[in-house]
A and B are shown apart, each in its own frame.
Chain A
Amino acid sequence: MKLKRFMTFAAVSAAICAGGLQASHAQDYPTKTVTVVVPFAAGGNTDTFGRLVAEELDKRLGQRFIVENKPGAGGNIGLGDLARSKPDGYTIGMGTVSSNAINQTLYKTLPYDKEKGFAPISLIASLPNVLVVNPDKIKANNVEELIAFLKTEPGKHTYASSGVGTSIHLAGELLATKSGIKITHVPYKGSSQAILDVVAGHVDMMFDNIPTAAQQVKAGKVKALAVTSLEKAALLPDVPTMASVIPGFEATSWHGLFAPPGTPPEIVEKLSKEVQAIIADPAMQEKLKAMGVTPVGNTSEEFKAFIDAETAKWAEVIKAANVPLQ
């Protein structure tokens, strides 16, 4: 009998809870498991940042934050899923410079409404790229010498990338347009094969994400000329910035958290505050810096302004470099 009464009570209270969800307020959020869509494969940078933040949100908000990988089409598949999910804060997702600033220009059609976009929560971290050259192929010790050298042999030299329209490719295009040099783009599928061919001297140079490139630089296989962030990178403290030669040159690979368009602003605000607190935590700062990453953690408004600026910047580069649209 007792059990039966308890069951009735449980059923009724479950029903009340379900009804209450419809009018849920930011104060109560979250009351159930939250899905974090990562639009790239497990094990990559975006996945790592997503998992790090999801684990902390889990601890701080007392609900499960479960990461779900939905890779494919440069992040468009996962973001399409995110855009279609209910804007109630129970599905959020990761986005990057390629998926949320470059693809807007690069792809003619996206599986979601370009205009509506997403509700930015907070920028988690950004990764600088580093310009590395094969020392046998390129006789240059700094960016000025490189530009001068490439100007003497226009079109004769090559740079590798992890694929058309990636931040690694567009950093190369940015260099070419800003300095007026001509270099041939050699795209690869992913950066590991690309850096290997720069090491072996089949391709002359490339911009690569700092964690992998730093290994090759330290082994003396390639020479690092500059980093693409506005500040010097902790992993390669002796390497100058591109901006010190070409003012304003910035090409970072950034990763942030987004909610579907139409998510209640209170929920976005709450999540943003939590993410900012998570990133500000000294242990997290240390963890990210050890990976060669610059921790950020900004407000929703700051993140939105940043994305708009990035989208405009890359649209200009794509247009100037005549990158074919997909």
Chain B
Amino acid sequence: MDIFANLWLGASTAFMPMNLFYGFIGCLLGTAIGVLPGLGPTATIAMLLPITFGLPPESALIMLAGIFYGAQYGGSTTAVLINLPGESSSVVTAIDGYQMARNGRAGAALATAALGSFFAGSVATILLAVAAPPLAAVALNFGPAEYFSLMVLGLVASVALASGSLLKAFAMIVFGLILGTVGTDVESGTPRYVFDIPELYDGLNFVAVSMGIFGICEILRNLESEHERSVGVKRVTGLMLTKEEFKRIIAPVLRGTALGSFLGVLPGGGAMLASFASYAVEKRVSPNRAEFGKGAIEGVAAPESANNAGAQTSFIPMLTLGIPGNPVMALMVGAMIIQGITPGPNVISDEPELFWGMIVSMWSGNLMLVILNLPLIGLWVRMLTVPYHLLFPAIIGFCCIGAYSINNSVFDVFVMAGFSVIGFALSKMRFEPAPLLLGFILGPMLEENLRRAMLISQGDPSIFVRSPLSLSLLIFAVVVLALVLSPSISRKREEAFTE
């Protein structure tokens, strides 16, 4: 099998001292921002994007990927120790993890999170190596019609899978779609909603918008509730799992890994959804379901495995099709374009060192994260004691530098500032920003591909159902939509998200 030769090629890239170094930096940073509640991987990657311009593409992407899955690890640490999820994907981990910590089993909870993540990460890496190349072969068949149908599926899935109110998620997606129409229309070259501002001719900048809506907005929210931030860290003792605990986590880790790997591949899915879904599943199938909410180790093992597996498999659509499934992947696509690599089906054949190097680096990164997380928990907790009034000016400073350096333009700094206010207002009204960003990314692609397909077919809409690929995607979208609308599922969904 070629796969061993490919993995060997990947290993020779990933284990180069420089790439190991950048991978380590990425994991370290990712863990750090995972621990810090104010920052997520999206804002961090957005901020670090300009710095990667000078690096070789392999090192740049290995570092950015490290930040992403590092954040999945770091987020669980504070969730368990102080009931403060550092990352949205570790929200459910906090439920049983914190109870375990109160029972004096904090060490076991953290060990479970780390080991479960490592196992899931390793499995997802193998899945990427095996399933990604065949997926890429299919990808050349993706013309404008197929892309359009895929975007439809992505949008439907993102509504279906968003947490909280369905109506609000839908409203946010529409808002994102509207924002996506700003700029020069690709088909006719006509400027739309630009108000004669030349800076708007290329549309709103995604990095500036996302930094405003996530990064700066998070700071505003944290400043508002600073007095509530408590650091009541209990002493962590006994890192090891008992034999009985170890037996109890095997099945949840396997189920979490499977569910996470699957949901991660879907556009609009990703790590957060995977953790919610697997927690809901465990709660129904576990023999110890009575213990849930009171410190069940399964309640930590399953979502932590799922979010890590999902984080990793969400690279599949990005690497093989060039389609970003979530905002972090959209930034990765941006990073690749800046490096002169067109993300798409050709990446595997044109840039094998990059592709396989990244895959192998995910495994080595996971290994580093296990080593990093267990002994360094004490340090992460101490980072939380840095007074926020010292931390937030630094974060704002970095954000401004990052926004300015995208186009060397002050305009993008204003865009970021404007969107931080919008983001804050939305969070006050309990609207989630993630669907907005997905709409903002998918919207222009949806429109462009729809109109491009219609141009190619000379205005014949049957192009969308004539292609088997496009037809299956549309049918899948209809099925997902039907599931969302069916009363029993939506009731279960509500239940799962109110846990």
Contacts and interface: CB of A to CB of B under 8 A. Distances in A.
A69 interface: yes
A326 interface: yes
Interface string B455-496: 110100000000000000000000000000000000000000
A184 B342 contact: no
Interface in B119-165: 140-141, 143-144
Interface stretch (B5-13, B182-190, B210-218, B370-378): B182-190
Question: Which 6 A-B pairs have CB atoms at the shortest separation, nearest pair first?
Answer: A164-B189, A202-B143, A73-B201, A192-B342, A73-B198, A200-B140
B143 A72 contact: no
Contacts of B291: none
A42 B141 contact: no
A294 to B, nearest CB: 22
A284 to B, nearest CB: 22
Nearest to B343: A192
B189 A189 contact: no
A44 B391 CA distance: 37
Contact of B198 (A77, A193, A197): A77
Nearest to A74: B201
14 contacts: A72-B201, A73-B198, A77-B198, A77-B407, A156-B458, A158-B455, A164-B188, A185-B455, A193-B342, A196-B342, A196-B344, A197-B143, A200-B143, A326-B189
A43 B198 contact: no
A324 B344 contact: no
A186 B201 contact: no
A169 B338 CA distance: 23
A56 interface: no
A205 interface: no
A158 B456 contact: yes
Contacts of A261: none
A87 interface: no
B199 interface: yes
Given A43-B340, A111-B198, A70 B407 contact: yes
Interface in A44-67: none
Interface string A178-207: 000000111111001100110110110000
A72 B201 CA distance: 7
- Among B196, B344, B407, B448, chain A packs the most CB atoms within 10 A around the CB of B407
Interface in A149-191: 155-156, 158, 163-165, 184-189
B186 A187 contact: yes
B190 A324 contact: yes
B346 A188 contact: no
A188 to B, nearest CB: 7
Contact of A42 (B53, B188, B196, B201): B53
Contact of A186 (B189, B407, B452): B452
A203 B455 CA distance: 10
Interface residues of B, number: 32
Contacts of A69: 407-408
A185 B186 CA distance: 12
B455 A72 contact: no
A264 interface: no
A202 B190 CA distance: 24
Interface of A: 41-43, 68-74, 76-77, 80, 106, 109, 111, 155-156, 158, 163-165, 184-189, 192-193, 196-197, 199-200, 202-203, 323-324, 326
Nearest to A70: B408
Given A184-B456, A197-B143, 7 more contacts: A70-B407, A72-B199, A72-B409, A164-B186, A165-B189, A188-B452, A200-B141
Contacts of A189: 186, 448
B352 interface: no
B199 A73 contact: yes
A2 B201 CA distance: 58
B409 A77 contact: yes
B191 interface: yes
Nearest to B452: A186
A202 B196 CA distance: 35
B351 interface: no
- Among A71, A72, A158, A163, chain B packs the most CB atoms within 10 A around the CB of A72
A73 B202 contact: yes
B189 A77 contact: no
Contacts of A188: 186, 452
Contact of B338 (A43, A111, A184): A43
Given A73-B198, A186-B452, A324 B144 contact: no
Given A72-B409, A77-B409, A186 B184 contact: no
A187 B185 CA distance: 10
Nearest to B142: A200
Interface in B167-212: 184, 186-191, 196, 198-199, 201-202
A162 to B, nearest CB: 10
Contacts of B346: 196
A185 B188 CA distance: 10
Contacts of A76: 198, 201
A288 to B, nearest CB: 18
Given A77-B199, A197-B143, A72 B407 contact: yes
- Among B184, B188, B189, B345, chain A packs the most CB atoms within 10 A around the CB of B189
Given A77-B199, A200-B140, A202-B456, A187 B187 contact: yes
Contacts of B199: 72-73, 77
A104 to B, nearest CB: 15
Given A77-B198, A196-B344, A71 B407 contact: yes
A106 B191 CA distance: 12
Contacts of A155: 458
A54 to B, nearest CB: 16
B178 to A, nearest CB: 19
A173 to B, nearest CB: 12
B336 to A, nearest CB: 11
Contacts of A192: 342, 344
Contacts of B455: 158, 184-186
Interface string B69-103: 00000000000000000000000000000000000
B198 A323 contact: no
